[in-house]
Amino acid sequence: MFDGLRDKLDEFREDADEAVEEAEDSEDSSEEAVEADVQSESADDVDAEAAEEAAEDAAGEPEPDEASGSGFAGKARSLVGDRAFVIDEESLDGLLEELEIALLSSDVEVEVTREIKDRVRDSLVGEKKHWRESKEDLVVDALHDALVDVLEVDGFDFDSYVQDAEKPVVVVFTGVNGVGKTTSIAKIAERLENQGLSSVMANGDTYRAGANQQIQEHAEALDKKVIVREQGSDPTSVIYDAVEHAEANDVDVVLGDTAGRLHTSDDLMKQLEKIERVVEPDLTLFVDEAVAGQDAVERAREFDSAAEIDGVVLTKADADAQGGAAISISHVTGKPIVFLGTGQGYSDLEEFDAEELVDRLLERGG
Ligand SMILES: Nc1nc2c(ncn2[C@@H]2O[C@H](COP(=O)(O)OP(=O)(O)OP(=O)(O)O)[C@@H](O)[C@H]2O)c(=O)[nH]1
Ligand SMILES: [Mg+2]
């Protein structure tokens, strides 16, 4: 999963490690003054800004870059424990450019790439203290925090939401053709079962021939009830029937499938709006495939405007080397990734965890 992106980030990290030097090695006497000053203070009240001023005083003249008003003192300084590290501005710019290329070529959205770059830069540029074990941690942590920051949006935890909500919980799945909506519904039915929750599937895909049979096969394999109607029926009423079935039979969750549609198809998008209006689902999950990259991000935006989405299921992550959609989609849409689909089996569904994904991306040694 996301191997290409992981390799690129690994290269970036190695180059970054090389570019970070311990301040002692620097010929700039002011750097030594910073270090001396830092060492003389206790860990709690070291103030990097004051340290820098002291460094200027010690050097007897202002830093050239500060005089030019760039606000960037020529070197990015970071403190690791009681040692100071620097990256010169040119190296840092080169590194950030390398990071930018790594992200963009992995199909990370432009705005999200900029955000990650800015955060890494802010984190590595001097006025900050990093109480880290090693200089390697300095770069990894900067990148780690930047990635987690863009991946985490305010959201909800699916499992606890469903456990705590009034029953039946109605979940509707939307998205373009063939991305894995029906398969994800089957996987989620299995997951709910494992958590002691019953579910009924509803085939709101009354559009595609063969859709009934497909979902019925899943239902049979999982021993689940499924509500279907003949092709061409109103999908809203199929899902509505399933809600009534759930209410009458104390079923915990209704999983409403919908036909795949292009966001450019007005009629079908109106149909989705109708489902939202009439059924009023508790959750609408947008499903798309990780391999679609920036297209998935764009489609999430479009679907959200027709039938507001609460979260994203990103399928086929197992087949995606780039990771661009996974990195970008939450930051762009403001909606959390709820699950990652990681294969064709019923158990190939992972609850999404930003920290875990980033740790995986930054795993050492590929
Ligand atoms: N490798 C992999 N394949 C998946 C995953 N999820 C779904 N698929 C496969 O993707 C194909 C399409 O899945 P469906 O569930 O039929 O997709 P859909 O969105 O319901 O398609 P339509 O109903 O035609 O819009 C199937 O062959 C699935 O087995 C996944 O996480 N990983
Ligand atoms: Mg389907």
Q: Is 123 in the pocket of ligand 1 (CB under 6 A)?
A: no
- Return d(Cα 124, Cα 138) in angstroms, integer: 8
- State the CATH number of the domain containing residue 310: 3.40.50.300
CA dihedral 330, 332, 334, 338 (to 10 degrees): -20
Q: Could you identify the atom of ligand 1 that is nearest to the CA of residue 319?
A: 1
Using the mean position of ligand 1's atoms as its centre, give its distance from the Cα of residue 23 in Å. 54
pLDDT at 240 over 90: yes
Distance (Å) of CA 253 to CA 28, 43, 273, 308, 332: 66, 53, 21, 20, 29
Q: Is 213 in the pocket of ligand 1 (CB under 6 A)?
A: no
Do 179 and 135 share a domain, yes or no? no
Give the CA diameter of the chain.
85
Do 95 and 174 share a domain, yes or no? no
Pair of tokens at residue 249: 């039979």
Do 129 and 162 share a domain, yes or no? no
pLDDT digits (tens, 9 = 90+) for 32-44: 434 433 444 444 4
- Could you give the number of structural domains in the chain? 2
Using the mean position of ligand 1's atoms as its centre, give its distance from the Cα of residue 120 in Å. 36
Do 169 and 147 share a domain, yes or no? no
Do 197 and 276 share a domain, yes or no? yes
Residue 79 lies in domain: 3-151
**Ligand in nearest proximity to the CA of 181:** 1
> First CA to last CA across the chain, in angstroms?
11
Q: Is 336 in the pocket of ligand 1 (CB under 6 A)?
A: no
Q: Could you identify the atom of ligand 1 that is nearest to the CA of residue 315?
A: 31
Neighbours of ion ligand 2 (CB under 5 A): 181-182
**Domain contains 106:** yes
Full strand arrangement of the beta sheet holding 83-88: 21-22, 83-88, 75-80, 128-130
**Ligand in nearest proximity to the CA of 218:** 1
Do 87 and 193 share a domain, yes or no? no
Pair of tokens at residue 113: 């790439």
Do 86 and 21 share a domain, yes or no? yes
pLDDT at 74 over 80: no
Do 352 and 245 share a domain, yes or no? yes
Q: Is 149 in the pocket of ligand 1 (CB under 6 A)?
A: no
pTM confidence score: 0.85
pLDDT digits (tens, 9 = 90+) for 268-315: 889 999 999 999 999 999 999 999 999 999 999 999 988 899 999 999
Ligand 1 pocket test: which of 207, 268, 344 has the largest number of ligand atoms within 8 Å of its C-beta?
344
Closest to 263 measured CA to CA, from 280, 282, 239, 288 = 288
Last residue of a domain, one of 151, 184, 206: 151
**Domain contains 346:** yes
Do 85 and 224 share a domain, yes or no? no
Using the mean position of ligand 2's atoms as its centre, give its distance from the Cα of residue 297 in Å. 20
**Domain contains 227:** yes
**Domain contains 366:** no
Using the mean position of ligand 2's atoms as its centre, give its distance from the Cα of residue 211 in Å. 6
Using the mean position of ligand 2's atoms as its centre, give its distance from the Cα of residue 152 in Å. 29
Last residue of a domain, one of 123, 151, 179: 151
In this prediction, residue 71 carries a pLDDT of: 45
Do 234 and 348 share a domain, yes or no? yes
pLDDT digits (tens, 9 = 90+) for 146-205: 999 999 998 889 999 999 999 999 999 999 999 999 999 999 999 999 999 999 999 999
Last residue of a domain, one of 129, 151, 173: 151
Using the mean position of ligand 1's atoms as its centre, give its distance from the Cα of residue 178 in Å. 5
Angle at 60 between CA 55 and CA 63, to 5 degrees: 65
Do 111 and 199 share a domain, yes or no? no
Do 353 and 253 share a domain, yes or no? yes
Q: Is 174 in the pocket of ligand 1 (CB under 6 A)?
A: no
